[in-house]
Structure 1
Amino acid sequence: MQINLCRKRLHDIHEAFLSFIIGLMKLQAAFDGDLHQCLSLLQKIHPYLDIAEIGTPLIYREGMSAVRQVRNQYPDLLILADLKIMDAGEEEAAIAFEAGSDIVTVLGLTQMTTLEGALNAARRFGKQIMVDMMQVNDLLPRTKMLLDLGCHYLCVHTAYDVHSTTHTSPVGDLELLRRTFPNAPFAVAGGIGLNQLDDLTALKPEIIIIGGAITNAPDPVRVAQTIRERMNT
């Protein structure tokens, strides 16, 4: 009886530990500069990251070689390729997965066949897609459709050209979506810094995506460490 009781307690502890790990928010840093800057920064801040984003400008500069180099140097780090796929979903997602990406972005505005194609590629490679909800106006019905489709993450994203000029935050949209879909796997991005962090962590997104607040900081290591500590409290 004592052995069975010990086994049950170990099982309960294991389940609680898994729930804790799964429930932890992930920190994703977006690298939009050149490849040298990306690799140099990663060397300093990768211990604080869960996901390294190869940003769209970096992909335009370097192509999939940026993904390959990060994968070669950091085999255990999750990599997201921010392709913002709008067409040819299966073919384009497969290119990024073959290069070493774990997650690929698809625009939420695109047609169903493109989303289904990207999901097909993700299933073939055992990877994931993140749907970027930037500029999606029918937010609630579109979110339901994407969740029903089986998309792995939905990213509530304030566009760069919007937040850089109006200082708009994604907090409001994330609040609405979290109330409506309490268990949905949301990521959040768009001009996020230390000032918005507490409001966002209260809404428990699966992934918080931060770019310039880390990569352009005078001391990116200190900022990344501070963000990680505040996310884990």
Structure 2
Amino acid sequence: DPHYPLRRPRQMCIRATVDIVEAGTILCLTEGLNAVRALRAQCPDKIIVADWKVADAGETLAEQAFGAGANWMTIICAAPLATVERGHEVALRGGGEIQMELFGNWTLDDARAWHRIGVKQAIYHRGRDAQASGQQWGEADLSKMKALSDIGLQLSITGGITPADLSLFKQINVKAFIAGRALAGADNPPQVAQAFHSQIRDIWGE
């Protein structure tokens, strides 16, 4: 069964300890819309993200993502503003949201334009390759995140995040922490998820 990995008990045992479940880019490229549908069926009470990094055809792809059960869909920062607008319009009709993926080149003027048309969220990355090369979170990252927060965007932060990292982002308008590898590679994923929740409560009181 090609969808067996989506149903492994070990992976699903953390369902009670996370708030958002992402259908990641690699998974979606492999399994297509079935990845979103399967996660929606297994996690009916969770926010589901279709991490598609859309670059074009914003309306069509948003209709597919939200139609399959996603609550949020990602659009790459290099996408034309028209693509963002079309995707955002579909998201609004379905009660969903667009997340802008800040991979590669983008500017604060871009961020202002996204926010001006109604987009509320962005994802700030330390990418897989950057992390593997030893790149750490630094003042330049935090400064950019603060500027994005000041524009009014809510940030999801990702890139090898661990519970010990969270205090770095205390002054940032954080929407979520994306912790795929920290959970998937853990011996006890629910325990790690609880550690994230504990740190979030200690730092933000939520």
Range of TM-score over shorter length: 0.7 to 0.9
Quote the RMSD (CA, aligned, Å): 2.0
Per-residue CA distance 1:79-136 (angstroms, 9 max, x = gap): 0010000010110111010000000000011111111111121122221110001113
Q: TM-score, normalised by structure 1?
A: 0.78
Match of 1:123 among 77, 92, 107: 92
Provide closer, same or farther for how the CA distance between residues 198 and 39 of structure 1 changes in structure 2, counting only shifts above 3 A. Answer: farther
Partner of 1:68: 37
Q: TM-score, normalised by structure 2?
A: 0.87
| Offset at residue 164 of structure 1 (A) | 1.8
Q: 1:148 and 1:36 mapped to 2: Cα distance?
A: 42
| Offset at residue 171 of structure 1 (A) | 6.7
Contact (CA 8 Å) 1:156, 1:174: kept in 2 or not?
no
Q: 2:157 and 2:146 mapped to 1: Cα distance?
A: 11
Partner of 2:80: 111
Q: 1:126 and 1:110 mapped to 2: Cα distance?
A: 22
Q: How does 1:143-222 map to 2 (within 5 A)?
A: 143-169=111-137, 172-179=140-147, 181-182=149-150, 183-222=152-191
What secondary structure, in the 3-state scheme, does the structure 2 residue paired with 1:208 have? strand
Larger Rg: 1
Tell me the matched-pair count: 199
Q: Which has the higher contact order (CA 8 A, sep 6+)?
A: 1
Q: 1:78 and 1:180 mapped to 2: Cα distance?
A: 23
Provide closer, same or farther for how the CA distance between residues 87 and 212 of structure 1 changes in structure 2, counting only shifts above 3 A. Answer: same
Unaligned runs of 5+ in 2: none
Unaligned runs of 5+ in 1: 1-33
What secondary structure, in the 3-state scheme, does the structure 2 residue paired with 1:191 have? coil
Per-residue CA distance 1:173-213 (angstroms, 9 max, x = gap): 24433256434312111121233122124534111111111
What secondary structure, in the 3-state scheme, does the structure 2 residue paired with 1:94 have? helix
Question: Per residue, is there more helix in 1 or in 2?
Answer: 1
Q: 1:37 and 1:197 mapped to 2: Cα distance?
A: 30
Q: 1:129 and 1:180 mapped to 2: Cα distance?
A: 16
Match of 2:22 among 53, 64, 67: 53
Contact (CA 8 Å) 2:124, 2:156: kept in 1 or not?
yes
